[in-house]
Amino acid sequence: MSADSSEIPLVELRGVTKVYGQGQAAFQALRGVDITIRQGEFVAIMGPSGSGKSTAMNILGCLDVPTEGAYVFRGAHVEQLTRRQRALVRRHYLGFVFQGFNLLARTSAIENVELPLLYRGEPHGVRRRAALAALASVGLAGWEGHTPAELSGGQQQRVAIARALVSEPVLLLADEPTGNLDTQRGREVMELLASLNSEKGLTVVMVTHESDMARHAKRVVHFLDGLVERDHRNGGPH
Protein backbone atom coordinates (compact mmCIF):
# COMPACT_ATOMS: atom_id res chain seq x y z
CA MET A 1 0.00 0.00 0.00
CA SER A 2 1.18 3.41 -0.87
CA ALA A 3 -0.15 5.10 2.27
CA ASP A 4 2.29 5.92 5.03
CA SER A 5 1.98 3.21 7.68
CA SER A 6 2.51 5.72 10.52
CA GLU A 7 -0.60 7.63 9.44
CA ILE A 8 -3.75 6.98 11.50
CA PRO A 9 -6.28 5.15 9.30
CA LEU A 10 -9.45 7.06 8.47
CA VAL A 11 -11.70 4.16 9.39
CA GLU A 12 -10.95 0.81 10.90
CA LEU A 13 -13.28 -2.15 11.49
CA ARG A 14 -11.81 -4.63 13.97
CA GLY A 15 -13.45 -7.99 14.44
CA VAL A 16 -16.87 -6.55 13.71
CA THR A 17 -19.86 -8.88 14.05
CA LYS A 18 -23.50 -8.02 13.59
CA VAL A 19 -26.39 -10.19 14.71
CA TYR A 20 -30.00 -9.35 13.83
CA GLY A 21 -32.83 -10.82 15.85
CA GLN A 22 -32.62 -13.06 18.89
CA GLY A 23 -32.62 -16.75 19.80
CA GLN A 24 -33.53 -19.11 17.01
CA ALA A 25 -34.44 -16.27 14.67
CA ALA A 26 -30.99 -14.70 15.10
CA PHE A 27 -29.17 -14.00 11.88
CA GLN A 28 -25.46 -13.30 11.78
CA ALA A 29 -24.88 -10.71 9.07
CA LEU A 30 -21.21 -10.10 9.86
CA ARG A 31 -18.95 -12.72 11.41
CA GLY A 32 -15.78 -10.83 12.25
CA VAL A 33 -14.77 -8.28 9.66
CA ASP A 34 -11.50 -6.36 9.61
CA ILE A 35 -11.15 -3.51 7.14
CA THR A 36 -8.84 -0.52 7.29
CA ILE A 37 -9.39 2.41 4.96
CA ARG A 38 -6.98 5.29 4.68
CA GLN A 39 -7.42 8.86 3.56
CA GLY A 40 -7.74 9.18 -0.23
CA GLU A 41 -8.78 5.62 -1.01
CA PHE A 42 -11.56 4.62 -3.40
CA VAL A 43 -12.93 1.30 -2.19
CA ALA A 44 -15.59 -0.80 -3.88
CA ILE A 45 -17.37 -3.34 -1.71
CA MET A 46 -18.74 -6.25 -3.69
CA GLY A 47 -20.51 -9.45 -2.90
CA PRO A 48 -23.75 -11.33 -3.47
CA SER A 49 -26.86 -10.24 -1.65
CA GLY A 50 -26.87 -11.40 1.95
CA SER A 51 -23.09 -11.33 2.09
CA GLY A 52 -23.12 -8.52 4.66
CA LYS A 53 -21.92 -5.70 2.42
CA SER A 54 -24.93 -3.46 3.19
CA THR A 55 -24.59 -4.14 6.91
CA ALA A 56 -20.93 -3.17 6.74
CA MET A 57 -21.91 -0.04 4.87
CA ASN A 58 -24.50 0.91 7.52
CA ILE A 59 -21.88 0.47 10.23
CA LEU A 60 -19.32 2.51 8.28
CA GLY A 61 -22.02 5.19 7.87
CA CYS A 62 -22.65 5.32 11.64
CA LEU A 63 -26.27 4.39 10.97
CA ASP A 64 -25.84 1.13 12.85
CA VAL A 65 -23.47 -0.17 15.53
CA PRO A 66 -21.59 -3.49 15.62
CA THR A 67 -22.84 -6.22 17.94
CA GLU A 68 -19.23 -6.95 18.81
CA GLY A 69 -15.91 -5.55 17.74
CA ALA A 70 -14.75 -2.01 17.22
CA TYR A 71 -15.36 0.68 14.64
CA VAL A 72 -12.76 3.39 14.92
CA PHE A 73 -13.45 6.53 12.91
CA ARG A 74 -10.59 9.03 12.97
CA GLY A 75 -9.47 7.59 16.28
CA ALA A 76 -12.96 7.69 17.87
CA HIS A 77 -14.79 4.52 18.88
CA VAL A 78 -18.14 4.84 17.14
CA GLU A 79 -19.56 1.76 18.89
CA GLN A 80 -19.38 3.71 22.16
CA LEU A 81 -21.18 6.81 20.86
CA THR A 82 -24.82 7.66 21.56
CA ARG A 83 -27.42 7.91 18.83
CA ARG A 84 -27.13 11.68 18.94
CA GLN A 85 -23.32 11.64 18.74
CA ARG A 86 -23.45 9.31 15.75
CA ALA A 87 -25.87 11.72 14.05
CA LEU A 88 -23.35 14.49 14.65
CA VAL A 89 -20.55 12.35 13.13
CA ARG A 90 -22.74 11.89 10.04
CA ARG A 91 -23.51 15.60 9.93
CA HIS A 92 -19.90 16.77 10.12
CA TYR A 93 -17.81 14.06 8.47
CA LEU A 94 -19.90 11.84 6.19
CA GLY A 95 -21.67 12.17 2.88
CA PHE A 96 -24.24 9.66 1.61
CA VAL A 97 -25.27 8.68 -1.90
CA PHE A 98 -28.06 6.10 -2.22
CA GLN A 99 -29.26 3.78 -4.93
CA GLY A 100 -32.73 5.37 -4.98
CA PHE A 101 -31.26 8.93 -4.94
CA ASN A 102 -33.39 9.76 -1.87
CA LEU A 103 -34.00 13.39 -2.68
CA LEU A 104 -36.86 15.25 -1.00
CA ALA A 105 -39.78 15.23 -3.40
CA ARG A 106 -41.35 18.50 -4.57
CA THR A 107 -38.23 20.27 -3.35
CA SER A 108 -35.89 22.17 -5.65
CA ALA A 109 -32.40 20.87 -6.32
CA ILE A 110 -30.82 23.70 -4.40
CA GLU A 111 -32.99 23.17 -1.33
CA ASN A 112 -32.08 19.49 -1.40
CA VAL A 113 -28.40 20.30 -1.61
CA GLU A 114 -28.64 22.92 1.15
CA LEU A 115 -30.21 20.51 3.62
CA PRO A 116 -27.01 19.21 5.33
CA LEU A 117 -25.81 22.79 5.85
CA LEU A 118 -29.17 23.71 7.35
CA TYR A 119 -28.66 21.06 10.00
CA ARG A 120 -25.18 22.42 10.56
CA GLY A 121 -26.71 25.81 11.24
CA GLU A 122 -24.93 27.65 8.43
CA PRO A 123 -26.44 31.05 7.56
CA HIS A 124 -28.48 31.48 4.41
CA GLY A 125 -25.77 33.16 2.31
CA VAL A 126 -23.17 30.50 3.07
CA ARG A 127 -25.68 27.72 2.35
CA ARG A 128 -26.65 29.19 -0.97
CA ARG A 129 -23.10 29.78 -2.17
CA ALA A 130 -21.93 26.32 -1.12
CA ALA A 131 -25.00 24.64 -2.68
CA LEU A 132 -24.53 26.47 -5.98
CA ALA A 133 -20.84 25.53 -6.03
CA ALA A 134 -21.64 21.89 -5.27
CA LEU A 135 -24.26 21.77 -8.04
CA ALA A 136 -21.81 23.34 -10.44
CA SER A 137 -19.13 20.79 -9.49
CA VAL A 138 -21.43 17.94 -10.55
CA GLY A 139 -22.25 19.73 -13.79
CA LEU A 140 -25.71 20.96 -12.85
CA ALA A 141 -25.21 24.72 -12.88
CA GLY A 142 -28.48 26.29 -14.00
CA TRP A 143 -30.66 23.43 -12.72
CA GLU A 144 -31.02 24.81 -9.16
CA GLY A 145 -34.73 25.45 -9.34
CA HIS A 146 -35.76 22.05 -10.73
CA THR A 147 -37.52 19.51 -8.54
CA PRO A 148 -36.53 15.81 -8.69
CA ALA A 149 -39.58 15.06 -10.84
CA GLU A 150 -38.24 17.47 -13.46
CA LEU A 151 -34.80 15.83 -13.58
CA SER A 152 -33.57 12.61 -15.23
CA GLY A 153 -32.26 9.75 -13.10
CA GLY A 154 -28.65 10.66 -13.83
CA GLN A 155 -29.30 14.26 -12.93
CA GLN A 156 -31.06 13.25 -9.71
CA GLN A 157 -28.09 11.14 -8.70
CA ARG A 158 -25.79 14.05 -9.41
CA VAL A 159 -27.96 16.30 -7.20
CA ALA A 160 -27.63 13.63 -4.51
CA ILE A 161 -23.85 13.64 -4.94
CA ALA A 162 -23.85 17.43 -4.71
CA ARG A 163 -25.82 17.10 -1.46
CA ALA A 164 -23.23 14.66 -0.15
CA LEU A 165 -20.37 16.96 -1.18
CA VAL A 166 -21.77 20.24 0.03
CA SER A 167 -20.73 19.66 3.62
CA GLU A 168 -17.19 18.74 2.54
CA PRO A 169 -17.18 15.30 4.12
CA VAL A 170 -14.04 13.30 4.87
CA LEU A 171 -15.74 10.12 3.72
CA LEU A 172 -18.29 9.63 0.95
CA LEU A 173 -20.41 6.49 1.24
CA ALA A 174 -22.22 5.38 -1.89
CA ASP A 175 -24.69 2.49 -1.73
CA GLU A 176 -25.25 1.09 -5.24
CA PRO A 177 -25.06 4.61 -6.72
CA THR A 178 -25.55 3.30 -10.27
CA GLY A 179 -28.15 0.65 -9.48
CA ASN A 180 -31.09 2.69 -10.78
CA LEU A 181 -29.31 4.11 -13.83
CA ASP A 182 -28.69 2.86 -17.36
CA THR A 183 -25.14 1.94 -18.35
CA GLN A 184 -24.30 5.30 -19.91
CA ARG A 185 -25.61 7.41 -16.94
CA GLY A 186 -24.03 4.91 -14.55
CA ARG A 187 -20.65 5.33 -16.16
CA GLU A 188 -20.97 9.13 -15.95
CA VAL A 189 -21.76 8.95 -12.25
CA MET A 190 -18.82 6.58 -11.70
CA GLU A 191 -16.49 8.90 -13.57
CA LEU A 192 -17.71 11.76 -11.37
CA LEU A 193 -16.97 9.79 -8.22
CA ALA A 194 -13.57 8.71 -9.56
CA SER A 195 -12.61 12.28 -10.42
CA LEU A 196 -13.70 13.51 -6.97
CA ASN A 197 -11.38 10.88 -5.54
CA SER A 198 -8.43 11.51 -7.80
CA GLU A 199 -8.67 15.30 -8.07
CA LYS A 200 -9.90 16.31 -4.62
CA GLY A 201 -8.55 13.39 -2.65
CA LEU A 202 -12.00 12.53 -1.33
CA THR A 203 -12.18 9.10 0.29
CA VAL A 204 -14.97 7.08 -1.33
CA VAL A 205 -16.48 3.78 -0.21
CA MET A 206 -19.00 2.30 -2.60
CA VAL A 207 -21.16 -0.79 -2.52
CA THR A 208 -21.89 -2.29 -5.90
CA HIS A 209 -22.57 -5.65 -7.45
CA GLU A 210 -21.51 -4.65 -10.96
CA SER A 211 -17.86 -5.50 -11.57
CA ASP A 212 -18.01 -3.02 -14.43
CA MET A 213 -18.50 -0.22 -11.96
CA ALA A 214 -16.07 -1.65 -9.42
CA ARG A 215 -13.29 -1.30 -11.98
CA HIS A 216 -13.37 2.46 -11.35
CA ALA A 217 -12.25 1.90 -7.76
CA LYS A 218 -8.63 1.57 -6.65
CA ARG A 219 -9.38 -1.25 -4.24
CA VAL A 220 -12.04 -3.94 -4.20
CA VAL A 221 -13.25 -5.76 -1.07
CA HIS A 222 -15.27 -8.93 -1.68
CA PHE A 223 -17.75 -10.06 0.95
CA LEU A 224 -19.10 -13.57 1.29
CA ASP A 225 -21.28 -14.93 4.11
CA GLY A 226 -20.45 -12.12 6.50
CA LEU A 227 -16.71 -12.28 6.02
CA VAL A 228 -14.16 -10.50 3.86
CA GLU A 229 -13.35 -13.05 1.19
CA ARG A 230 -10.84 -11.08 -0.84
CA ASP A 231 -9.33 -7.60 -0.52
CA HIS A 232 -7.17 -6.49 -3.43
CA ARG A 233 -5.95 -3.45 -5.26
CA ASN A 234 -7.41 -2.80 -8.66
CA GLY A 235 -5.50 -2.56 -11.88
CA GLY A 236 -8.57 -0.77 -13.29
CA PRO A 237 -8.59 2.24 -15.56
CA HIS A 238 -6.48 4.27 -13.10
Partner 1 sequence: MLWNSVLLAVRAIRRNVLRSFLTILGVVIGVASVIVMVTLGDGATQSVKDQMQSLGANLLMVRPGMRMGPGRDAALSPNFKMADIEALAEQIGSVKAVVPTASAMVTVVYQAKNWQTTVTGSSAAYFQTNNWRLASGRFFTEAEERAGSAVCVIGSTVRRELYGAESPVGTTIRVKSFACDVAGLLESKGQGGFGMDADDMIVIPLRTLQRRVRGNDDVTGLQVAVKEDASIDAVIEQIKVLMRERRKITEGEDDNFTVFDTRQIADTMSSMVRTITMLLGSVAAISLLVGGIGIMNIMLVSVTERTREIGIRLAIGAVETEVLSQFLIEAVALSSFGGLIGIFSANAIALGVTRLIDVPFMFNPGMNLVSFFFSALIGVVFGYFPARRAAQLDPIEALRYE
The residues of the shown chain that bind partner 1, judged by CB under 8 A, are: 58, 61, 63-64, 83-84, 87-88, 90-92, 94, 96, 98, 102-107, 111, 115-116, 118-121, 163, 167
* Least distance (Å) between residue 100 CB and partner 1: 8
Direct distance between the N- and C-terminal alpha carbons of the chain, in angstroms, rounded to an integer = 15
* Least distance (Å) between residue 61 CB and partner 1: 7
* Least distance (Å) between residue 70 CB and partner 1: 20
Nearer to partner 1, 164 or 194 (CB): 164
DSSP for 183-194, please give it: HHHHHHHHHHHH
> Is 210 exposed, middle or buried, given 0-12, 13-18 or 19+ CB atoms closer than 10 A?
middle
Sheet strands side by side (includes 68-73): 27-37, 11-20, 68-73, 76-77
Nearer to partner 1, 103 or 220 (CB): 103
Nearer to partner 1, 107 or 211 (CB): 107
* Least distance (Å) between residue 87 CB and partner 1: 4
Nearer to partner 1, 33 or 113 (CB): 113
Q: Which residues make Cβ contacts (< 8 Å) with residue 71, sequence separation at least 6? A: 11, 12, 13, 14, 16, 59, 60, 65, 77, 78, 79
